C-alpha cells in the first residue's frame, strides 16, 4: 500500500516533551515498515497551531498541510498516516 505521513507540533512544549517531529517521524516510519506500507512522503508543520484553521472559508494556515492536500489532488494514496489525529484538528488552549 502506498501511504504518506503528516506530522505537526503546535508548541515548543510539545516538541520538548517527547512529542517532537523527530519522534513522530520515527514512529510513523516504524509503523509503516511493520505494516508493509510504502511511505512515499512525509509532510510536516512545526510550531503551527491547529487553531489556525478557518472553518468558514475552509482554509488552513499550515504550509505542510496545504502541500499535502495539493499532493493528494495529483497522487492516489491508500492512507495518510499520522501518529495522532489531533494533528488535523484544532487544539484547545
- Catalytic machinery residues: 10
- The set of residues, in sequence order, having a beta carbon less than 8 Å from that of 32 and lying 6+ positions away, is 3, 5, 38, 39, 81
Q: CA-CA distances (angstroms) from residue 11 to 2, 25, 70?
A: 30, 17, 25
Q: Which residues of 46-84 are buried (b: 16+ CB within 10 A; e: fewer)?
A: eebbbeebeeeeeebebebbeebeeeeeeeeeeeebbbe
Amino acid at each position: 500500500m502506498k501511504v504518506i505521513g503528516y506530522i505537526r507540533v503546535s508548541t515548543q512544549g510539545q516538541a520538548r516533551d517527547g512529542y517532537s517531529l523527530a519522534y513522530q517521524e520515527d514512529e510513523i516510519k516504524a509503523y509503516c515498515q511493520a505494516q508493509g506500507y510504502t511511505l512515499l512522503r512525509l509532510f510536516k508543520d512545526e510550531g503551527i497551531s491547529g487553531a489556525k484553521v478557518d472553518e468558514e472559508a475552509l482554509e488552513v494556515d499550515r504550509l505542510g498541510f496545504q502541500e499535502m492536500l495539493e499532493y493528494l489532488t495529483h497522487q492516489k494514496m491508500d492512507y495518510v498516516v499520522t501518529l495522532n489525529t489531533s494533528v488535523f484538528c484544532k487544539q484547545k488552549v
